Amino acid sequence: MKVYLVRHTSVDVAPGTCYGQTDVPLRASFQEEAEACKKALQDTGMRFSRIYTSPLSRCTRLAAYCGFPEAERDERLKEMNMGEWEMQRFEEITDPRIQEWYNDYLRVRTTEGESFMDVLARVSDFFDHLDRTSGPALVFAHGGVLVAAQVYAGKVKLEDAMKALPPYGGMVEIDLPLPRLHPLMLAGTGSDVGKSVLAAALCRIFLQDGYHPAPFKAQNMALNSYATPEGLEIGRAQAVQAEAAGVPCHTDMNPLLLKPTSDHTSQVVLNGKPIGNRSAYAYFRTEGRDELRREVNQAFDRLAVRYNPVVMEGAGSISEINLKDTDLVNLPMARHAHADVILVADIDRGGVFASAYGSVALQTPEDRKRIKGIIVNKFRGDLRLFESGVKMMEEICGIPVLGVIPYYHDIYIEEEDSVELSLKQRKAVQGKVNVAVVLLRHLSNFTDFNMLEHDERVNLYYTNNVDDLMKADIILLPGSKSTIDDLYELRRNGVAQAILQARRNGATVMGICGGYQMMGQRIADPDGVEGSISQMPGLGLLPTETVIEGEKVTRQVRFAFLSSEEPNCTGYEIHMGRTSAVEGETLTPLVRLENGETDGCVVDRKCAGSYIHGILDNPEVIEWLLAPYAEKLDQPQLDYAAFKEEQYNKLADHVRKHLNMPLLYQILTQND
């Protein structure tokens, strides 16, 4: 845990005067010095959870100026007591003990006062009893206290103590060891209750409080996936949570990923690599579950050694008792991890009391004890109206409600589930660059368009309506889990013809991954990787052809865009297929990878495709895409990296404000 300590500003005391606990005045330069202190604190970027001050006015005044008038006053933070020597000039002190003090100020006390070791003892007592579960903390104090704090933290040797005396208005930072927190699992009363976003919020809160958290979901089902730095595949939600936690994503965070290929079948990705397709019936049989259970347990164990805490996410409802014997992700996983379980209930759906009570009541006595609290999520309206509801829920469930989290509209976190697409814009508007994403049946990785969606110059909408497509300035063909099937559907419903007409009318058309494959002359699937259709003509917009292959390409990439020499752009690839130029045609690549390979194809200023997911997260690419519509660009360019960081912090602030964090920390540290 980080503790920041600020020394008071310069005092209005004659040079050579001995003072310690006397409440002396400050110099007229206080405001100028205090403003510098305030800026230095702001520059740390920290959100201080606890603020303390010496009760002497030279510290309380600075604390108030810096925005903390309610800082907790603590006698242990006073300067050294100089006893009978207070406010005397050193040269006029006749006490014979002063020479002893000069020789060993560490251990010799001033007459009727203290030694440095006495100061160190009370400062040590302050830090020994400081709650270290949530941080960082801020302390306004005196030079002697700041020196003692550095000795306490092992930052300065005792014999070198006074060499560490900071100037007036100076600041020092010390690190105190944090307690080991229990793993925490967010389990749900159902699907889409907000577990993923709350997990991201807690990852960021723990990071802000000085911990080293990491996310974990044993088994995830999603089309929206992401490539790790090692070139392996995990669910997008865990990649987002890792970003919120400030750590690189890893397959241990999501060792088992199911990617639906139909209503009854999913591709199974284990430890980042596909191991085949399974029907739901075959997957949930008890045979073979021990191997998968062993793999996910081992992944958690590896994470638990490296991170503190591990923020776990369950899947769906914890009350599916018919799947209890084959469950890998909910309470059985919590038992293996010795995790504290927090139940997340969605009040927006209605029936929150029944869903919360039933979820607890249907567990075995052992598992019921593991559920330590409830979070009521997605509340709309006046929170005071649910105060009695909180008490009722606690009474019937027998566990505390840790918080009621209001629904929010102004925080944007990348979604994983395609159900979120129903909430997105669906129409063209006037005065902005209209960007239409073709709404495919098997659309994947729609997070490719998040940066554009939040760019104020752009109106991005999802549609498969031919009239709305014709109104678009730019048409984006997204990735697909079943490219040939989606291409067949585009031809059947008239969308393919609308895209071609829009291109003839001057619209930009760009494809990503499966969309890039569709834009070529043809797609072949000779081995039946995707299904029974062995070949399908493409849209004919690019001089390319694609062969679907069984081996999946997954990797993160750096690349130079178009004529750029420097590989300043980033993205990732997840695809099954190889795309090349049609015989007799010349292919102009869209990008050049850092390793010298090329990717994609560009025909002209308004027609291109690429395998790279996240290509539209790069400002250089965005500006190229929007440049033909310069007359509509009257807003500044979006800094997407800064935007995402702002959203994670806003989410953490929102959840922290409505969650009983002291109680949560108590749960995560107490012995059962």
Helical (H) or strand (E) element with 624: helix 619-626
**Considering 18, 513, 569, 601, which one is annotated as catalytic?**
513
Q: Is the backbone peptide bond immediately before 177 cis, with ω within 30 degrees of 0?
A: no
For residues 342 and 356, what is the distance between their CA atoms, to the nearest angstrom? 11
Preceding amide of 136 cis, omega within 30: yes
Cβ 503 vs Cβ 495: under 8 Å = no
Query: Is 37 in the active site?
Result: no
Distance of CA 663 to the CA centre of its chain: 22
Element (H, E) at 470: helix 466-470
Residue at 138: amino acid letter: L
Question: Which amino acid would we find at residue 580?
Answer: S
Phi-psi region of 381 (alpha: psi -120 to 50; beta: other; left: phi over 0): left
CA 61 to chain centre: 36
Q: How far is CA 380 from CA 348, 409, 652, in A?
A: 7, 11, 19
Length of the chain: 672
Buried/exposed 607-636: b ≥16 CB within 10 Å, e otherwise: bbbbbbbbbbbbbebbebbbebbeebbeee
Q: Which residue has the tokens 């206080």?
A: 30
Per DSSP bridges, beta strands 522-524 and 535-537 are: antiparallel
Closest to 138 (Cα-Cα) out of 211, 54, 201: 54
Determine the 3-state secondary structure of 524 from DSSP: strand
Residue 153 buriedness (CB in 10 A; 0-12 / 13-18 / 19+): middle
Token reading at 145 = 């206290």
Q: Is the peptide bond before 478 cis (omega within 30 degrees of 0)?
A: no
Contact 478, 447 (CB under 8 A): no
Torsion on CA atoms 137, 140, 145, 147, rounded to nearest 10 = 70
Amino acid at 186: L
Beta bridge partners of 401: 374
Of 274, 208, 211, 216, residue with least CA distance to 249 = 216
* CB-based contact 43:74 (threshold 8 Å): no
Alpha-carbon gap, residue 237 to 286, rounded angstroms: 27
Q: 348: which 2 tokens?
A: 């927006």
144 pairs with which residues across the strands? none
Q: Helix or strand or coil: residue 487?
A: helix
Cβ atoms of residues 154 and 305 within 8 Å: no
* Phi and psi torsions of 618, nearest 5°: -100, 120
- The answer to whether 620 and 633 have CB atoms below 8 angstroms apart is no
Of the candidates 215, 240, 236, the residue with the CA atom closest to the CA atom of residue 225: 236
Distance CA 62, CA 65 (A): 5
* Active-site residue, 513 included: yes
User: Alpha-carbon distance 223 to 666, whole Å?
Assistant: 37
As annotated, the active-site residues are 513, 613
